[in-house]
Structure 1
Amino acid sequence: MNKKALITGVTGQDGSYLAELLIDKGYQVFGLVRRSSTSNLERISHLFDHIQILCGDLLDQSSLMDVITDSQPDEIYNLASQSYVPLSWTQPALTAEYTALGVSRLLESIRRCKSDAKFYQASSSEVFGQPEESPQTERTAFRPRNPYGVAKAYAHWMTVNYRQKYNLYSCCGITYTHESPRRGTEFVFRKITHAAAQIKLGLANELKLGNLDARRDWCYAKDAVYAMWLMLQQEKADDYIIASGETHSVKELVECAFNCVGLDWQDYVSVDYAFYRPDESVQLVGSIDKIKTELGWQPEYSFKQLVELMVDYDLKKLTNNRA
């Protein structure tokens, strides 16, 4: 009999790639979506024949219990949250409701309705905030510096506590920044690849960015969701960092993206201090020693390959839109 999986946040970047992966592996896939006045199903429109959409909301425990009771999933992946860090400062309470308390509601629903289901919680490198060490490991202390990171830290520890208290198979993947063509242009990686393609096609003539020396640990979303799936295939639940294990500066990213389109980035890029983040004295970069050793996972795509893939996508999409 085919396994059944429930994905919250199925309409997002990670949810859509995870759904594709699970369908390819023969799963029956259920996607949890909130009812809203506007449709946000673009990322999974090609999967409609293979996914069963169920309506529910992380703010409403009874809806979660109904969805779990009706679908009886073997695996549950919680990828839903308010995930844009700047927005967490303007909507801190809503961020807490979805990103923190929503996980409590989901864990309690699993405990009551399907306690043998395996649960994956999407944790985040934002829980480390300004860490005391670099690279970070699974034992690095949490020091979140924004409401999103605080909410993710709460969700992480609730997941661990439900594993310890109730013996649920519940685990956290501490994901660092991961990108894809399905990423929104408000995120710096996609903002840069999209702008390089626009400028190449004559659709824009400049790109404003913040600190070009800021460094990030970037990997491909497809690699990240494979790690998520792998974590639920083990005998024992545990928490793992999902990252590339290396950092690259925004300047490196810009240079690589503009090289892909044959342009000198210095002719088009300017610095705007409005985009600066607070000082980052210690770099956020994840050690992947544990997941590499225990699960045999490591990213397949290099930084350069990821940049090339995304610039190529943006060039093709913008060209098609113009045709």
Structure 2
Amino acid sequence: MKKALITGVNGQDGSYLAEYLVSYGYHVVGGLRSGTNRKDHSHNIKGIEFVDIDFTSQAKINELLLAVKPTEIYNFAAYSSGLGMFDDPTGIAEINGVSVARILEGIVSIDSNIKFCQASSSEMFGFVDESPQSEVTRFNPRTPYGAAKLYAHNMVNIYRKHYGVFACSAILYNHESPRRSLKFVTRKIVNAAVSIKYKVTDKLTLDALDVKRDWGFSEDYVRAMHLMLQHHQADDYVIASGIAHTVRDVCQIAFDHIGLDYRKFVEVAQSSSRAPETLVLVGDSSKARETLGWEPSLEFADLIRMMVDAEMKIFN
């Protein structure tokens, strides 16, 4: 039986991957930071074992690997990529960056046969020179979050090439689901639409409507990460839909789905000074599609409608 250690299992991606791997017969061990309430984050997945992880200690990570003996590790542990990308830069560097080096060092020290997949981010591209972006596009992060993710991404490459570790990076573009936090604009819009429908609130204020992003479905993206570790050769892959949509598109689809005209309820903050983007963060995932046979299963509009339906159930 394969055994997977999933760090950050309490998040959107970690929970979807845990469900997916359990369905394939894996023994799944979910890693949580000490003090996390495990009952709140199981998403009713049966058969998951939970362990505490101290990402600040090399010795503790080594002890964990010795105890768990995973065949695969998927790392989702990170500070949020939502509104907090500038919050606590040193903490972000520690958890999003240095802790990845510690896990990789633990693999080399404890069992070099362990396969590792890092959840990298399109935020590493930052101020982009070209669009769409691929695995060979130059990185130029513009936030502490993106910079820390880039450090981790580089360490994955170093440990793969220098130490021979089967280590991969999934360069993930924006991916959503009903489990997305309210810190993120898609869930914020969906929640507001349903709140307005039920007259809990009467308007939604956003910073901008014409910002474009490449949005996909979380469950599709973690499936790609699993495919990466089943391939015969470790490598890095852009995981993206390849299609950019605006925040306005999210509003229109979400409000239309419940019979409302978003233009009557959504306004742009007068204090917003968001600079226009000359080039859009949109991913070229042709390498993953051709090499791994990966394809997204859910279209953007269907994803937003699914999120609205899930939000309606919460209100009901």
- TM-score, scaled to structure 2: 0.97
Offset of 1:257 from its aligned partner?
Answer: 0.5
Q: Please say if residues 174 and 241 of structure 1, whose CA atoms lie closer than 8 Å, have aligned partners that are also in contact.
A: yes
Return the alpha-carbon distance in structure 2 between the equivalents of residues 270 and 121 of structure 1.
Answer: 37
- Note the residue ranges of structure 1 that are not aligned, 5 or more in a row: none
Q: Please say if residues 30 and 51 of structure 1, whose CA atoms lie closer than 8 Å, have aligned partners that are also in contact.
A: yes
* Residue in structure 2 matching 1:210, options 204, 207, 227: 207
Offset of 1:86 from its aligned partner?
Answer: 3.6
Q: Please say if residues 210 and 248 of structure 2, whose CA atoms lie closer than 8 Å, have aligned partners that are also in contact.
A: yes
Off by >6 Å, runs of 4+ in structure 1: none
**Aligned twin of 1:43:** 41
Q: Please say if residues 13 and 43 of structure 1, whose CA atoms lie closer than 8 Å, have aligned partners that are also in contact.
A: no
Return the alpha-carbon distance in structure 1 between the equivalents of residues 151 and 39 of structure 2.
Answer: 29
User: Could you say what secondary structure the match of 2:226 adopts?
Assistant: helix
How has the CA–CA distance of structure 1 residues 53 and 17 changed in structure 2, closer, same or farther, with 3 Å as cutoff? same
Q: How does 1:279-318 map to 2 (within 5 A)?
A: 279-318=276-315
Q: Given residue 120 of structure 1, which amino acid in structure 2 is its aligned partner? A: C
Q: How does 1:155-166 map to 2 (within 5 A)?
A: 155-166=152-163
**Aligned twin of 2:96:** 99
**Aligned twin of 1:201:** 198
Offset of 1:42 from its aligned partner?
Answer: 2.3
**Aligned twin of 1:262:** 259
Offset of 1:179 from its aligned partner?
Answer: 0.2
**Aligned twin of 1:118:** 115
Offset of 1:272 from its aligned partner?
Answer: 0.9
* Residue in structure 1 matching 2:170, options 169, 173, 179: 173
Return the alpha-carbon distance in structure 1 between the equivalents of residues 169 and 233 of structure 2.
Answer: 13
**Aligned twin of 2:142:** 145
User: Could you say what secondary structure the match of 1:89 adopts?
Assistant: coil
Q: Does 1:136 align with 2:167?
A: no
1:129-168 deviations in whole A, cap 9, x for unaligned?
Answer: 0110000010000000000000000000000000000000
User: Could you say what secondary structure the match of 2:5 adopts?
Assistant: strand
276-285 or 119-128, which deviates more = 276-285
Return the alpha-carbon distance in structure 1 between the equivalents of residues 284 and 308 of structure 2.
Answer: 27
- TM-score, scaled to structure 1: 0.95
Q: Please say if residues 172 and 239 of structure 2, whose CA atoms lie closer than 8 Å, have aligned partners that are also in contact.
A: yes
Q: Please say if residues 123 and 153 of structure 1, whose CA atoms lie closer than 8 Å, have aligned partners that are also in contact.
A: yes
* Residue in structure 2 matching 1:108, options 97, 105, 112: 105
Return the alpha-carbon distance in structure 1 between the equivalents of residues 274 and 229 of structure 2.
Answer: 35
Return the alpha-carbon distance in structure 1 between the equivalents of residues 271 and 114 of structure 2.
Answer: 45
Offset of 1:62 from its aligned partner?
Answer: 1.6
Q: Please say if residues 8 and 77 of structure 2, whose CA atoms lie closer than 8 Å, have aligned partners that are also in contact.
A: yes
CA root-mean-square deviation:
1.3
Return the alpha-carbon distance in structure 1 between the equivalents of residues 172 and 274 of structure 2.
Answer: 20
Q: Please say if residues 208 and 270 of structure 1, whose CA atoms lie closer than 8 Å, have aligned partners that are also in contact.
A: yes
How has the CA–CA distance of structure 1 residues 34 and 175 changed in structure 2, closer, same or farther, with 3 Å as cutoff? same
User: Could you say what secondary structure the match of 1:19 adopts?
Assistant: helix
**Aligned twin of 2:17:** 18
* Residue in structure 1 matching 2:242, options 245, 251, 256: 245
Q: Please say if residues 11 and 41 of structure 1, whose CA atoms lie closer than 8 Å, have aligned partners that are also in contact.
A: no
Q: Please say if residues 82 and 184 of structure 2, whose CA atoms lie closer than 8 Å, have aligned partners that are also in contact.
A: no
Return the alpha-carbon distance in structure 1 between the equivalents of residues 212 and 39 of structure 2.
Answer: 32
Q: Given residue 33 of structure 1, which amino acid in structure 2 is its aligned partner? A: L
- Note the residue ranges of structure 2 that are not aligned, 5 or more in a row: none
Q: Does 1:6 align with 2:12?
A: no
Percent of aligned pairs with the same amino acid:
44
Q: How does 1:227-238 map to 2 (within 5 A)?
A: 227-238=224-235
User: Could you say what secondary structure the match of 2:70 adopts?
Assistant: coil
How has the CA–CA distance of structure 1 residues 277 and 18 changed in structure 2, closer, same or farther, with 3 Å as cutoff? farther
Return the alpha-carbon distance in structure 2 between the equivalents of residues 90 and 83 of structure 1.
Answer: 9
Q: Please say if residues 5 and 30 of structure 2, whose CA atoms lie closer than 8 Å, have aligned partners that are also in contact.
A: yes
